[in-house]
Structure 1
């Protein structure tokens, strides 16, 4: 349908009223977008028009209440809002996920941030209305200003956003003119649900389900009550009721075990307590429907932290803590927002795990998440049930605003699968052209989100509007094959260097800031380089060397432009780190704090391109390696041995470490069996330090040998902890430790189990200070 260009505000409001009547009848939503300096009159009239058809309503009003004038704007219209009104600070909006509103009003005067907009638009119910208002989409916006570099910023994202408003039905625009495009499409309203023919969970729980999808999925959770290790994976777009049905299933599993002798304990984890709130709330409702009233523990903001009964408990813990918790079932909500290292540990340590996640958009890319989980389940050989849900609960299937939202925020970006890879061309993309070409943008962004499952709508705006963000790609004759997003960093003024050295922070120069703080070399701040934010290859073409080839093109490109370095920063996943080290990048920094949400240590790698950069990186690498080896038993105790091994292998800097004859004799006694490991641990520790500092050798232990040496000798993990971490029996770990020590002692000092077990004072030089 073409746009209705309305002559007056009265005609505009009349068309909007008609659309709202139809929306209530067919259970879809409409959107009004106001962009003009004198927005308040139009806003007031639109709200009045909405309440003509609703005596009262559930209302969400979102804004930054601390911004100048924001509270005053809210108070001006507060009197028009009839019913329950939640005034929502954007920064706390995740606490409202799972709630439903008839009217959602978004104040975009102070901030236009895609992540907030997508999250809150989804809260509007069928028959409802979403209103967004601003004076100007690009003028003085908080998030937009944070993307600017030296006062410069583009408008590619906002230009596309305005275009998408004009392309979709169900959208009404008030700006320099009044425009409306009423929805004329078809919708599918959910029919009355029917219960499955055979049900295992109590009927009371099924009656709390809002759709047949939920009823069917609820029954699938019974697999977690069966023997052996089992994983259930449930993914769906937002608004399908996946968290709610997970909570009902927990209530059912709890009920089933309530009268057993053994106490039942279920653990829920998620990126935040608010992310798990729906699971908790529906577990409570489910238990209540079964006649049980659990004791409820609430957080400071009123969210359920635990449910406890006579013989059960359902508790929330943070993602890192969940690894070593004990219980019968672990439910991981919004799993795509949690680090891969933690997901693997959940499968290692728990027999029954349910992974719940959004398939598009806000907490991550469901397709990349699913691919990772499929690979993990295949590797672990764990029985897995894969589930999805399609029917929306808040509004009718075919809702025009959901279609607009997915298109505007590129939530359903899809890469193609190029078949002709004979000739690939490396190019720098024109961002203006890219954001005007929906097909190319979907391909390019689709490659990035399919390979990196931690994405949110803000990423696309940063990529498009940031003048220091560059997009490189490799394309074949039939489409894009590989993409990289690059941030130009460095060239800092002395004032910025001083700020960093004093502990201050600033946006846009991540690698220089980290290296300044941890190496203290001022010259690093002056150098210019490229930080590769993301690099990805379309899934069907991975493993063919295309990513490494693209990396080489980027490095050569940077050299031609006279840059000092190319680097990257990412959450420490062994597979990703191995890629960078294989391609000649040096690890120069690992955060001393593990990211609690992702369970990984952020890592910085770098490849120097100029002589002064090589000197600075050499110093930074040595500093990093010394810190890692000297504090791995403390600061980095929770680092996985896999990660530590790759970091130590990649930090190719050399230092001579001498092992005295006393310690060599202790090592010989260990090899002979006359001294237990604990008695010879000091000598073995020195020998292992010598090995990892030796970058001149032309031989290596196996990675299994190195993992055991890192876990036991350097980190000092107890045998039980070590075994669960590296996934092998104690006898095998002990055998590998003995083999590794034997090889090192022989290679460096020709010490074997046949060597002398004691030495005389005459054999000692000045290695020790004597009394």
Structure 2
């Protein structure tokens, strides 16, 4: 069979089952590009139905660089050609595969399969971080890719050999079919037909647009958002039409006059939702005049402005941190790709009158397990009436599509943590500490899947690229606590620092050095020329099974890791989105704050905290000076770039910025005579906060680092919001639930008195006696 004949057979085979097929063109790159043209021509598809993902330019078809493969998400193509010779990544592989429609072909251009483990240099570039060489990078993921291509149904493999014929001529290569990828026809189960739900407040047109019964059912369930106090959760694997369902529901709600606020990790994630909403509103002929002429506008552009309706409703987009503030009091909030957002942010959205969460269970940009496990607990504890709906039928291809199954196997998209009952009895005394290297993961698929499942469950952003790092990155160490062979808690450690003097100078000059996050910040941002010299391990990920939490397993794992490596490195460190709970956890495990980023993450709204725990004299010197520098600058930062940070985050960050051998409360305060008189005047006399803001700023720092006085958490939050962040009285009184500004101001008298009684200096005694007399 010739290549053209194979393509025709693959297309016929795929279309008959409404499935996709994968065609691997292996061999010389130029021959692969020529053969790709033959495939496209033999398939007989329109040019608009083809995309080439390649670093090369000059094609007549739609072309994307692999770095921009995510632009294919939410689109459909009959053929996608992915040139894997340059720019290949696991993330891009997932993104391009998802764009292929039922009956279509995913075409991969690859070196000869036997050479793949030593090729695909982009994967090496991705995980080769200084001071490790490229030779230290493993090839286990590349071996995995070859294995899945050779063994999975629906994958055709053609070996190409270049000839001397002119380019783009059929004779420019010889093709040998090594595997035809054809699947014997089976009894297929067609997707069910959608039907109307006349017992809902949504118009029939909302259901007429649906492609499957699953999708229509999701739209009907989302109609429950018309009732305040309702939360609807729509869960699905990718490609099931949940974003479209959310868009149809949003349109129906807006057509009825409701204000719908949409949020997602990025504007691009919401493009499909807005596109379907705009189409339905146009069908219903209820777009406001300003929007009706733009109903065919690019979907990404539609998210940048509200869609308004003649009934006074609208659909508008806001970034997750902004949406969490519920700007202009929306009637309903819709969250797309909810699994890619932190649980704390999702929790804040529950303050909306009604809220819908759409989440991908197994996806290319993370998975929904963390959402399902952690946020579900918070949702169950809320006062909302929760409606659940799961979409199982794919929109663009049949349910048993072999290419979807191949991708899930290759990238572990369907990995799950151990079943609850397997680890429910685990305790720090029952588990074993285990080193797990890339060979152990590659040789034990069950263990590999359980570890990846744990990481996905604990972190809202776990990507396919992380699979490559786990298998092949030379700077990573994986450690686990296992119970009867099942991982209960895992830690992923990244070796950083120990860089050459030349690299240190480059970082200090502003150059980015891959894989050295903490040394980079210490050196380039915090201006420490020696910040990248000490060697350390950054805790990239730590995850404990949800069925065994709050038993000290995470802390036990950290202590075992530190005990194993402390003689070989200078520090352990961590960087994370700062929340009070996480700051408390890391502080309890001996980590100290050295930095809080002045800008918030655009998706989570959290400010990153960096913390260090030294293991050597060099590490202690590094940590101590950065803790000191942090304490010197944080008060000024809180009055400007950090003025809006949660005061509980501020309390936690500063409380963890401890220095060894501090001299106690009196030294921490170190007020001069006038300072003590001002403080005593507020405590016992007619003095006011306004006359002594600098004194209370110093008191706040002393309290948060040394716990000088016996203050309540609200007193400490008051010190943060007013003395350090300079918030207006009205805002402070409202946030901290004082009945009035006057009461809020009076609280400073009690705070001042607590400090005076804690230190009780001679000046304070004299001042107090004066007022008493």
Using the size of structure 2 for normalisation, the TM-score is: 0.86
In the TM superposition, what are the counterparts of 1:694-705 in structure 2 within 5 Å? 694=706, 701-705=711-715
Q: What is the CA–CA distance in structure 2 between the aligned matches of 1:413 and 1:180, rounded to whole Å?
A: 29
In the TM superposition, what are the counterparts of 1:573-584 in structure 2 within 5 Å? 573-584=579-590
Q: Is the 8 A contact 2:244 2:276 kept in 1?
A: yes
SS in 2 for 1:179: strand
Q: Is the 8 A contact 1:230 1:384 kept in 2?
A: yes
Q: Does residue 1:243 correspond to 2:254, yes or no?
A: no
Distance 1:504 1:647, change over 3 A: same
Deviation of 1:431 after TM superposition, in Å, equals 0.7
Deviations 1:520-563 (A, max 9, x none): 44443221111111111222111111111111110011124x21
SS in 1 for 2:628: helix
More displaced, 750-759 or 336-345?
750-759
SS in 2 for 1:271: coil
Deviation of 1:308 after TM superposition, in Å, equals 2.7
Q: Is the 8 A contact 1:12 1:180 kept in 2?
A: no
Q: Does residue 1:36 correspond to 2:16, yes or no?
A: no
In the TM superposition, what are the counterparts of 1:553-702 in structure 2 within 5 Å? 553-560=560-567, 562-653=568-659, 654=662, 656-660=668-672, 662-668=674-680, 670-671=682-683, 674=686, 677-678=689-690, 681-694=693-706, 701-702=711-712
Structure 2: which 5+ residue stretches go unaligned?
A: 161-175
Deviation of 1:320 after TM superposition, in Å, equals 2.7
Distance 1:730 1:596, change over 3 A: farther
The match for 1:282 among 276, 287, 304 is 276
Q: Does residue 1:164 correspond to 2:154, yes or no?
A: no
Distance 1:250 1:677, change over 3 A: farther
Deviation of 1:671 after TM superposition, in Å, equals 4.6
Q: Is the 8 A contact 2:684 2:753 kept in 1?
A: no
Deviation of 1:456 after TM superposition, in Å, equals 1.1
Q: What is the CA–CA distance in structure 1 between the aligned matches of 2:434 and 2:590, rounded to whole Å?
A: 22
Deviations 1:259-303 (A, max 9, x none): xxxxx5332222222111111111111111211234347689755
Q: What is the CA–CA distance in structure 2 between the aligned matches of 1:337 and 1:714, rounded to whole Å?
A: 33
Q: What is the CA–CA distance in structure 2 between the aligned matches of 1:180 and 1:387, rounded to whole Å?
A: 39
More displaced, 568-577 or 10-19?
10-19
Q: What is the CA–CA distance in structure 2 between the aligned matches of 1:751 and 1:241, rounded to whole Å?
A: 73
Q: What is the CA–CA distance in structure 1 between the aligned matches of 2:516 and 2:337, rounded to whole Å?
A: 30
Q: Does residue 1:198 correspond to 2:192, yes or no?
A: no
Using the size of structure 1 for normalisation, the TM-score is: 0.87
Deviations 1:116-146 (A, max 9, x none): 1111211111111110113364536335313
Aligned length: 725
Distance 1:566 1:726, change over 3 A: farther
Q: Is the 8 A contact 1:126 1:394 kept in 2?
A: yes
Deviation of 1:746 after TM superposition, in Å, equals 2.1
Q: What is the CA–CA distance in structure 2 between the aligned matches of 1:269 and 1:246, rounded to whole Å?
A: 12
Q: Is the 8 A contact 1:658 1:690 kept in 2?
A: no
The match for 1:508 among 515, 521, 530 is 515
Distance 1:101 1:657, change over 3 A: same
In the TM superposition, what are the counterparts of 1:179-578 in structure 2 within 5 Å? 179-184=179-184, 187-196=188-197, 198-227=199-228, 229-257=229-257, 264-294=258-288, 295-296=290-291, 302-306=301-305, 307-310=307-310, 311-324=312-325, 325-326=327-328, 327-348=330-351, 350-378=352-380, 380-417=382-419, 418-419=422-423, 421=426, 423-560=430-567, 562-578=568-584
Deviations 1:235-270 (A, max 9, x none): 21111111111111111111112xxxxxx5332222
SS in 1 for 2:418: coil
Q: Does residue 1:151 correspond to 2:151, yes or no?
A: no
Distance 1:694 1:46, change over 3 A: closer
Distance 1:199 1:517, change over 3 A: same
More displaced, 643-652 or 723-732?
723-732
More displaced, 369-378 or 111-120?
369-378
SS in 2 for 1:398: coil
More displaced, 120-129 or 426-435?
426-435
SS in 1 for 2:387: strand
Q: Is the 8 A contact 1:13 1:46 kept in 2?
A: no
Q: Is the 8 A contact 2:45 2:78 kept in 1?
A: no
Q: Does residue 1:56 correspond to 2:42, yes or no?
A: no
Distance 1:155 1:729, change over 3 A: farther
Q: What is the CA–CA distance in structure 2 between the aligned matches of 1:514 and 1:604, rounded to whole Å?
A: 9
More displaced, 201-210 or 722-731?
722-731
Q: Is the 8 A contact 1:269 1:333 kept in 2?
A: yes
The match for 1:747 among 751, 758, 772 is 758
Deviation of 1:355 after TM superposition, in Å, equals 2.4
Structure 1: which 5+ residue stretches go unaligned?
A: 1-9, 79-84, 258-263, 761-771
